Chains A and B, each alone.
Chain A
Amino acid sequence: MVSKTKNKKSTKFSKAVKKAAGSYQKDKDMLIQILLDLQSMFGWLSREVLTEVSEQLEVPITQVYQIASYYKAFSLMPRGRHIIKVCLGTACQVRGSPQLLNIISAMLNMKPHETSEDMRFTLETVNCLGCCAMGPVVEVDKTYHTKPSPSDLRKIFESAK
């Protein structure tokens, strides 16, 4: 007997994949775009979702995983509610982004590429957000903060529930 929960979940994923693939007319060339939409939808790409993509688009599962595991935009693990991205581009580097990363790591007791146990934060690094003139820059939930002081950071993290 197939469990009802498993069925519900797989329908949810297959529906989502059908929608994402459908918006690009199931065009295999648009695989990366489809995965980006699914990443945006679910916050990460699970085994189930990627298997659905492989089946619906008729693309080998190896190719789907090769792409999903290659790009920084995709996460193969669940992520925190709040995504913190510290820019480590050259201009930010020269203006102290490694120290900024240190400060944030110390404050949240996390290392880069980690998600906090309570799933509140995921700390990531980016190799250039393109905001180079006002570094160092940290992006928190799609909002950019330039040259934040430790007290600025404390306020930002406290308000991110």
Chain B
Amino acid sequence: MNKKHILIVDDDPDQRLVIRLPLEAEGYEVKEAANTEEGRRLVLETKPDLIILDVMMDSTTAGFQLALELHNRADDSEFKEIRNTPIIMLTAIHSTTPLRFAPDEDYLPVQTFLEKPVDPELLLTKVRGFIG
């Protein structure tokens, strides 16, 4: 069976667990990163098929920064190989951050958003939509 790899980047271990359990139950191989630094490293090492990224980590927009880096279109980008890997971004509902959340190729190179608290069914639906 061709196992799809998924990388979760989130600083909350429980949150990572909540996402990992349904994904593993569905047969995906899941790796976890607790911060953006580790996330960068694991992206290069494991070349995941999908990345699930939390917005607020070290800073309130750390997730966005990482997403921008990963999907950088420059030719000398170190993440050249995975720049087309889909990203799901985790956000809190009724978020109070002044950023407007809307998938926008120019500003937020992410494919979709998933609101916390995470609904396992919704998570799996979205993941299936990207990598089957």
Whether chain B is bound by chain A comes out as no
Residue ranges of B at the interface with A (Cβ–Cβ < 8 Å): none
Using a CB–CB distance below 8 Å, which chain A residues touch chain B? none
